[in-house]
Amino acid sequence: MRVVVEAADVLGEGPVWAASEGRLYWFDIKRRRLHWHAPQSGEAGEVVLSMRASAAAPRTAGGLFLATDIGLAVFDPGTQAVEVVRRMALPAGFRTNDGGIDPQGRFWWSTMDDNGGVRPGAVFVTEADGRTEKVLDDVHIANTLTVSADGATLYLADSGRQTLWACDTADLSRRRVLATTDGDVAPDGSALDAEGFLWNAQWGAARLVRYAPDGRVDRIVEVPVDQPTSCAFGGSDLATLFVTSARDGLSETALGRQPLAGALFAFEPGVTGLPLATFAG
């Protein structure tokens, strides 16, 4: 596991690979930053946002489609401008959280109570034509939102309930428990690899866990910080797994022990990721 960018993110989240640009993007939700890193050149940069954004999908036309606390938006990497294309009024004290694109090009995203998910949030799906539907209620901290290569299974984590589910995308009420965590450990963001295994970042445990489709723990990879938040495959061959992390809530003592908290990390797990669809809207 190596350090890629010492971003010092308060809440690093939402990594996504934009193949057309050769960039990995991710957010610091709390500081309203959109970061990027180009592995081939080693260049990195950031954009200061006027809103809190947390999740994105690569667009067919280039750039990103974003979930933000004031609505859905488009990011243009050339001008670095963000245009809100659909304003949405979230309940007071709520923000967006995780999100991802499915093989059909639909964007799944979630909302959560910014007070640690005390009140339950929801999961939404946005079609390429902009139609947006709430598809799930009563999820306290919805994470992962990763869809299998055949489009049949949505992997969903409720960090508040310390549970990972495998859901039928045709009927989200049909779901099975993939895995649970205990103690102060919560399943956070995830990425699927080309073998159909789910890599899950586990907040509070300083680790990534690779789960088989039946929920069996296949591998555990240690991360040098307590709060890894999510992961995404990237690079030209999708052979690198990038890992975001957070400093949020860590004491001075904890930060002294893990000064790289909030950095972007990467390693080569020996398996490649799945190419992402693009959002046509």
pLDDT of amino acid 117: 87
pTM: 0.96
> How far apart (Å, rounded) are the C-alpha atoms in residues 131 and 146?
20
Task: State the average pLDDT over residues 97-119.
Answer: 95
Which is catalytic among the residues 188, 193, 226, 248?
Answer: 188
218 included as an active-site residue: no
pLDDT of amino acid 281: 82
pLDDT in tens, 74-89: 999 999 999 999 999 9
User: Sheet containing 107-113: which strands, arranged edge to edge?
Assistant: 94-101, 107-113, 121-126, 132-139
Which DSSP category does 271 fall into? S
Superfamily of domain 2-267: TolB, C-terminal domain (2.120.10.30)
Which DSSP category does 50 fall into? S
Mean pLDDT, the chain, whole residue set: 96
3-class secondary-structure state, position 253: helix
pLDDT in tens, 163-190: 999 999 999 999 999 999 999 999 999 9
Q: Which two tokens stand for residue 53?
A: 């954004």
Does residue 65 register a pLDDT over 90? yes
